[in-house]
Structure 1
Amino acid sequence: MDDEVDHAGVARATPRDGRDARWERHREERRAALVDATIRAIRKHGAAVGMDDIAAEAGTSKTVIYRHFDDKAGLYRAVAARIDGRVVGNVGSALGGTGTPPGDTRELVASTVDAYLALVESDTEVYRFVVNRPLVDRPLPDDPVGGTVDQVTDQLTGLLLASLSGAATDPTRARTWAIALVGSVRAVADDWLATAESERASRAAVVEALTDLAWHGLAPILSPDQPARTH
Structure 2
Amino acid sequence: MEPATVGDDPPATKRLPWAQRRDQLLAAAERVIIREGPQVSMDDIAAEAGVSKPIVYRHFGDKNGLAHAVGERFSVALMTELHAALGAHADPRERTHAAIEVILRRIDEAPQTYRFLTRGSAEGAPALGDALDAFMRLIGDDLADFMSSVNKDKSPERRILLLTWGHAMVGLVRSSADLWLDRRHVSREELVDQLTDLLWNGFRDADWTTD
TM over 0.5: yes
Deviation of 1:77 (Å):
1.9
TM-score normalised over the length of structure 2: 0.80
Count of residue correspondences: 194
* 2:174 paired with 1:186: yes
Distance 1:49 1:122 in 2: 19
Query: For the Cα contact (< 8 Å) 2:140–2:166, is it kept in 1?
Result: yes
AA partner of residue 136 (structure 2): V
Q: Retained in 1: the 8 A contact 2:30–2:113? A: yes
Greater C-alpha Rg: 1
Gap runs ≥5 in structure 1:
1-24, 227-231
Match of 1:201 in 2: 186
Are residue 221 (structure 1) and residue 206 (structure 2) matched?
A: yes
CA contact (8 A) 2:68 2:132 kept: no
DSSP-derived class of the 1:145 partner = helix
Q: Shift of the alpha carbon at 1:181?
A: 1.4
- Of stretches 169-178 and 121-130 in structure 1, the one that deviates more from structure 2 is 169-178
Q: Does 1:129 align with 2:120?
A: no
> Which amino acid is the alignment partner of residue 78 of structure 2?
V
Residues 175-197 of structure 1, C-alpha deviation per residue, up to 9 Å, x if partnerless? 112221111011111111121xx
Judge which range, 145-154 or 112-121, deviates more.
145-154
* Range 34-43 or range 54-63, more displaced: 54-63
Label 1:69 to 1:166 Cα distance change in 2 as closer, same or farther (>3 A). closer
2:70 aligns with one of 71, 79, 89: 79
Q: After superposition, give the CA deviation of every residue in 1:112-170 in whole Å (9 maximum; x if it has no partner).
A: 10000010111111111122232583588xx4423322222223223433346599962
Superposition map of 1:1-231 within 5 A: 26-98=17-89, 101=90, 104-134=91-121, 137=125, 143-161=130-148, 162-163=150-151, 170-195=158-183, 199-222=184-207, 225=209
Report if aligned partners of 2:82, 2:99 keep a CA contact under 8 Å in 1.
yes
Which structure has more RCO (C-alpha within 8 Å, separation ≥ 6)? 2
Letter in 2 for 1:214: L
Q: Which moved more, 1:44-53 or 1:184-193?
A: 44-53
For 1:170, what is the secondary structure of its paired residue?
Answer: helix
Letter in 2 for 1:212: D
Q: Secondary structure at the match of 2:17?
A: helix
> CA 1:166 to 1:222, structure 2 compared with 1: closer, same or farther past 3 Å?
farther
Return 5+ residue gaps in structure 2 as ranges: 1-15
Normalising to structure 1: TM-score of the pair?
0.74
